[in-house]
């Protein structure tokens, strides 16, 4: 039962990704051909491989991470505090800094990672990018040989499904139906490519990523039957 979990043992997170290069033409011929083949089913005859390339960030083989935001409960006596911070910039540095956080503060058996659709996206994406960059996987992302009940991951999408695997419920929809306040978004996921490559405004992406991380924590609290976080309980560091 998630209500029995100690919130201070959970690291909530969200990632933002973009295609590995700004333009399709920057890929070498082999990678272009691989992308054309990989994206064939999704784009069908509606888009060329080049036109569809802006969406390449959702595949770890063709994208890269530009921000990982994390949040964790660090209660001070009877005061509940949720601390939020972000790793951004060079992808290798992002991955190494995130790994260092896991090793130094979230490496024990009791520690868990939590994201929305994390088991299908965030967790494997981070692991794949680490392997691509020859970064040894930290324990919390190395799932080789683990039994399902040994995987230290929580997923608010999976929790919301209650065993129904036919549906996908977005973070935005779930916060709405659960009555979780959400400030007016500056950007959404479909705009991260443009904001990163064309407008070069990483701060807007960080803000968006941190808001999603907070939303994941709020959903988890609602699923437990706990009170939502108030604004004065959230600390950006």
pLDDT digits (tens, 9 = 90+) for 48-68: 999 999 999 999 999 999 999
pLDDT tens, residue by residue, 201-235: 999 999 999 999 999 999 999 999 999 999 999 99
pTM to 2 decimal places? 0.95
Question: Looking at the domain assignment, is residue 56 inside a domain?
Answer: no
- Taking Cα atoms as reference points, which of 174, 218, 229, 157 lies closest to residue 12? 218
Question: Looking at the domain assignment, is residue 90 inside a domain?
Answer: yes
Question: Looking at the domain assignment, is residue 54 inside a domain?
Answer: no
pLDDT at residue number 181: 85
Question: Looking at the domain assignment, is residue 189 inside a domain?
Answer: yes
Could you list the residue range(s) of the whole structural domain that residue 232 is in? 2-20+62-236
Could you give the CA distance from residue 90 to residue 181 in angstroms, rounded to a whole number? 32
Q: Which residues pair with 85 in a beta bridge?
A: 70
What is the pLDDT confidence band of residue 236, given thresholds at 50, 70 and 90? very high
CATH of the domain at 68: 3.30.420.10
- Torsional sign, CA 173, 177, 180, 182: positive
pLDDT tens, residue by residue, 165-201: 888 999 999 999 999 987 667 788 889 999 999 999 9
pLDDT at residue number 154: 98
Question: Looking at the domain assignment, is residue 176 inside a domain?
Answer: yes
- Taking Cα atoms as reference points, which of 217, 195, 223, 237 lies closest to residue 87? 237
pLDDT at residue number 39: 95
Question: Looking at the domain assignment, is residue 200 inside a domain?
Answer: yes
The contacts of residue 41 (CB under 8 Å, 6+ apart) are none
Question: Looking at the domain assignment, is residue 48 inside a domain?
Answer: no
What is the tally of structural domains in the chain?
Answer: 1
Question: Looking at the domain assignment, is residue 53 inside a domain?
Answer: no
- Torsional sign, CA 208, 213, 219, 225: negative
In the chain, % of residues over pLDDT 90: 86
3-state DSSP call for residue 73? Answer: strand
């Amino acid at each position: 039962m998630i209500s029995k979990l100690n919130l201070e043992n959970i690291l909530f997170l969200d990632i933002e990704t973009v295609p590995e290069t700004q333009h399709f033409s920057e890929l070498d011929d082999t990678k272009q051909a691989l992308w054309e083949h990989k994206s064939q089913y999704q784009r069908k005859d509606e888009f060329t491989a080049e036109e569809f390339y802006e969406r390449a960030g959702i595949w770890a083989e063709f994208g890269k991470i530009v921000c990982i935001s994390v949040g964790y409960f660090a209660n001070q006596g009877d005061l509940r505090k949720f601390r939020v911070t972000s790793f951004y910039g060079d992808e290798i540095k992002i991955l190494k800094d995130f790994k260092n956080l896991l090793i130094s503060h979230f490496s024990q058996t009791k520690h868990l990672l939590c994201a929305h659709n994390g088991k299908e996206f965030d967790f494997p994406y981070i692991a794949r990018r680490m392997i691509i960059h020859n970064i040894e996987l930290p324990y919390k992302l190395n799932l080789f040989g683990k039994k399902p009940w040994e995987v230290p991951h929580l997923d608010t999408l999976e929790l919301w499904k209650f065993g129904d695997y036919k549906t996908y419920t977005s973070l935005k929809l779930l916060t709405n139906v659960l009555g979780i306040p959400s400030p007016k978004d500056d950007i959404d996921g479909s705009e991260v490519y443009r904001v990163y490559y064309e407008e070069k405004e990483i701060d807007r992406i960080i803000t968006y990523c941190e808001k999603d991380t907070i939303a994941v924590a709020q959903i988890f609290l609602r699923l437990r039957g706990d009170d939502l976080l108030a604004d004065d309980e959230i600390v950006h560091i």
